[in-house]
Structure 1
Amino acid sequence: MFQLNDVKYKSIINTKQLTIPTDTVTAVTGPSGSGKSTLLRLLNYLATPESGTVSYQGKPYTDWEPTELRRKVMMLPQRPVLFGETVAENLQAGRLFSGREEASDEKLIAAAQQCMLDKKLRDPAENLSGGEQQRLSLARLLLAGPDVYLLDEPTSALDEDMEWNVMERFLAEARRSAKGVIFISHATAMADHFADRIVHSDSFTSVGGLKS
């Protein structure tokens, strides 16, 4: 689990105690600019608190080597990032970062299909639409196989029907693989439908904790 104790970060995060389990699906909700993305950055060690401690599985982040932690806890930003020229190179990038051997073409295709991306492996990634790049990024994350997925509005570029279908398929695979998921959602209905637990931004922008 993640544990934040007496954490303050600029004027954005201010919580006495916040516990987020990593054996389930948790949604983070709240208005724009309320610190949701900052919370994920703290959990991914991309930001460090000005005071207090952030821990993962009982180990403070100051005791973790950052790359080791990020191989266990991977974050997908809202704006997709491309690695390499082709769809295949982008899918393999997650495997390489996590220290795993390259996946077969069959596994690459299966991951893409899981995220409803119907593209050839040799297709140029830069030609993909924003929504296709988001699905490519999700498939890359599945192939990387961390213990916890941190997703910052991972389907925001998709229309509503596609958004729900992709999230349903991604979370089904995460649950099948016993992975934890923490995702930011702009849609309350999506959070209510998919999440086992919900954390609202007022629980970490003021003294508070986990909401079920």
Structure 2
Amino acid sequence: MFSIKGLVYKDILAINRLELLGNKIICIVGESGGGKTTLLKMLNKLVSPDKGEILYNNISLKDIDSVNLRREVVMLSQIPAIFEGTIKDNLLIGLKFSEKPMVSDKVLEEALSFIKLNKNLEDNSENLSGGEKQRLALARVLIMNPKVFLLDEPSSALDEDTEKFVIEKLVNHTRKNNKTLIMVTHSKSIAENYYDCLIEIKEGKIINIKEVK
């Protein structure tokens, strides 16, 4: 799915070669400041390398329109954007930005239930806690129905039980629907329990790759 060749970005990343296969759970771990988030951003064209090339389905990202790419490859930042308005407004805004068809309230409510957020669609999003906002943003990404999820610390604001519940649901959804999940995580237990491919990054370099045989 993604192929990286000779990638260099400032003094943050230096990756000679990396293959990220589709329909997999790919976990990226490592020390803070090691380049994990920067790598995710590059897969979404939020950051461009100084040298080297990134291919998506054998096509260089340079040759893919950013909007078209982001319809298929959706990134969720560690501190997600929450917009003024209702929960419903926030769930639909991803579809608006990506120019995808709107969905029914039933679909929105199912997404909230999926990520264990017991709220009404007309509730004000600004009244949510940090963990609730993170789950709301996850629901928004799920509704966009991309081929690839790029998630940066998707459970950092969640308590341990909720983290396990949400990550397990995301992993099962990914496998069931033949999608790809590329996840930066601070949790070694999450990474070890769910990975198909586990990538460890240190000081911008890949120091270990472990794959399920």
Paired letter, 1:206: K
Q: Percent sequence identity over matched residues?
A: 38
Q: Going by fraction, where is strand more abundant, 1 or 2?
A: 2
Indicate how the Cα distance of structure 1 residues 196 and 129 shifts in structure 2: closer, same or farther if over 3 A, else same.
same
**Displacement of 1:100 after TM fit?**
2.1
**Displacement of 1:206 after TM fit?**
3.0
Q: Distance in 1 between matches of 2:167 and 2:112?
A: 13
Q: Which blocks of at least 5 consecutive residues in structure 2 are unaligned?
A: none
Instruction: Tell me the TM-score normalised to structure 1 length.
Output: 0.95
Partner of 1:150: 150
Q: Distance in 2 between matches of 1:116 and 1:178?
A: 23
Partner of 2:181: 181
Partner of 1:69: 69
- Superimposed CA distance per residue, residues 12-50 of structure 1 (whole angstroms, 9 cap, x where no aligned partner): 110110111121110000011110000101111000000
1:201 is paired with a residue whose SS is: strand
Q: Distance in 1 between matches of 2:160 and 2:196?
A: 21
Paired letter, 2:166: V
Summarize the alignment of residues 15-26 of structure 1 with structure 2, pairs less than 5 Å apart.
15-26=15-26
Give the count of matched residue pairs: 211
2:3 is paired with a residue whose SS is: strand
Instruction: Tell me the TM-score normalised to structure 2 length.
Output: 0.95
- Superimposed CA distance per residue, residues 101-152 of structure 1 (whole angstroms, 9 cap, x where no aligned partner): 1111110000111011110000000110010000000100000011100000
Q: Distance in 2 between matches of 1:193 and 1:69?
A: 30
Partner of 2:122: 122
Partner of 2:78: 78
Indicate how the Cα distance of structure 1 residues 128 and 191 shifts in structure 2: closer, same or farther if over 3 A, else same.
same
Check whether the contact 1:18–1:208 (CA below 8 A) recurs between aligned residues.
no
RMSD of Structure 2 on Structure 1 (CA): 1.4
Partner of 1:205: 204
Indicate how the Cα distance of structure 1 residues 209 and 190 shifts in structure 2: closer, same or farther if over 3 A, else same.
closer
Q: Which blocks of at least 5 consecutive residues in structure 1 are unaligned?
A: none
**Displacement of 1:205 after TM fit?**
2.4
